[in-house]
Amino acid sequence: MRTLWIAGASASLLFLHGAMAVAQTTAPAPSIELKRDDRQGQLQVLIDGREAVAYQYAADLDFPHYYPIRSPSGKPLTVQYPDDRHSHHRSIWVNDIVQPPNHEPISFYAIGLKEDSRRTAKGFRDCIRHVKFLGEDVAGGKATIGTLATWLADFGQLRVLDEQRRLRVVPLGRGEYLLDLQFEVQATYGDMRIVSEWNHYAWPYVRMHAKFGVAAGGTITNSAGGINEQGTHEKRALWVDCSNCVDGATEGLAVFPVADPASPTLWLVRDYGTFGPRRPDAQSGVPFVLKKGESLKQHVGILVHSGDATTGRVAERYQQFIAGKLD
C-alpha cells in the first residue's frame, strides 16, 4: 500500500508539474500601453492596465523627469518632491552645472534652492524644457518613448544644450520591468563648459522614497558586495541596488550603467536614498569643455524588481541586460 501511495503521489506530482508547465507556457504576456495627456504634461506607461512609470513634461516644471516609478506591488519607489533640504530632487532625472562662454555657471542641479532660481511670474530663470516627442511606439510587447528637451537660461533667452532621450520599457512579468534609458546632451549652440561638482552629481540621478532608505531599514548594495553609503559611495561597481521590505513586500530598484566591465563605474550614493553612476573618469567631477556639436552620452538599465539584491537576482539580470537578453 505504501509503495502504491508513493507511486500515486509521484504520478500526481508529475501531472501537476505538467499542468504548471502548460500554464506557464500559455500564460499571456503582460500588456503594455501608453497614455498621453498634454494638458497635464504627463505620458504614462501602463503594464497590464496599471501605471508603472510616467514621463513628466509640463511647461511649468523646472525640468522633465520620470515619476512615479511603481514597484511590482504598486508602491512608489521614488519621490518627486522630497520634503527635506533636497527638495530639488525629482525621482529619476538628468541635470548638471554648466557654464556658457562669457556667462556665470548655471546650476541646473540646484534649481529652486536659492531665491533667484525659484519659479516666478515669469517662470524659472533657468530650466530644462521639454520641446517635443520624437516618437511613441508600442511593439513586440515593449514601449519606446523618444523626447527632445532644451536646457535654457536667463528666462529662455539663452539656449544652452539640447538633450535627446530614448526610454524603452520592457515588462518582465509579475509586475517587474526594465527601464532601458539612453540620453545624449549636445552642445548644439556653441562650446559649453561642464562644471560639475563631485559631491553633487550622478548621470542620471535616482532619489528613492524614504521608505526604501537606510533609516527605514532599506539596504543599498553594489556588485562588489559593498553595503550602504559607507561601502558604496565613490566606490567602483557594475551596479547598485536599493531594496527594502515595505508593508510586507520586499522590492527594490537597481541601476545598470553600460560601461567597460574592466573599469567599473564610480558612484554617488547616499543613505537617504539618492544614488547614480558617474561619468567616465576624464569627465567625472572635473570641469571640461564640450566643443560645439559634441555630446555626452549615457546608457543605463533601471530594473524594478521583487525581492532584494539577492532574491531579485540583480547580478544575473545585470549580465542579461549587458548581453541584450533582458527582455
Contact 30, 38 (CB under 8 A): no
Q: What is the mean pLDDT of residues 246-267?
A: 96
Of 18-27, 120-129, 200-209, 299-308, which gets the smallest average pLDDT? 18-27
Count CB atoms within 10 A of the CB of residue 54: 22
The ranges assigned to domains in the chain are 1-30, 32-322
Mean pLDDT throughout 70-81? 97
Average pLDDT of the residues of the chain: 91
Highest mean pLDDT range out of 115-119, 120-124, 317-321?
Answer: 317-321
Counting residues of the chain whose pLDDT is more than 70, the rounded percentage is: 89
For the stretch 285-303, pLDDT in tens is: 899 999 999 999 999 999 9
If you ran DSSP here, which 8-state letter would residue 46 be given?
Answer: E
**pLDDT tens digit sequence for 156-182:** 999 999 999 999 999 999 999 999 999
Per-residue model confidence (pLDDT) at position 114: 66
Question: For the residues 68-94, what does the mean pLDDT come to?
Answer: 92
Task: Name which of 53, 51, 80, 77 is nearest 242 in CA terms.
Answer: 77
What's residue 13's pLDDT? 36
What's residue 142's pLDDT? 98
- Give the model's confidence band at 115: pLDDT under 50 very low, under 70 low, under 90 confident, else very high: low
Query: DSSP characters for 201-234?
Result: --SSEEEB-GGGSGGGT-EEEETTS-BHHHHHTT
Closest CA to 94 of 154, 15, 149, 175: 149
pLDDT score, position 200: 77
Q: How confident is the model at residue 2 (pLDDT cuts 50, 70, 90)?
A: very low
pTM of the model: 0.90
The pLDDT score that the predictor gives to residue 28 is 85
Q: Which of 34, 35, 33, 38 is nearest to 130 (CA)?
A: 38
For 174, the grid coordinates are 509579475
**DSSP 8-state symbol, 291:** P
Give yes or no for a contact between 98 and 151, defined as CB atoms under 8 angstroms apart. yes
Q: Which carries the bigger pLDDT value, residue 106 or residue 6?
A: 106
Query: What H or E segment, with its residue span, contains residue 244?
Result: strand 240-246
Query: Which of the four CATH numbers 3.40.50, 1.10.3470, 2.40.50, 2.70.98 does domain 32-322 have?
Result: 2.70.98
Res 20: pLDDT: 43
Percentage above 90 pLDDT, the chain: 80
d(CA 47, CA 50): 5
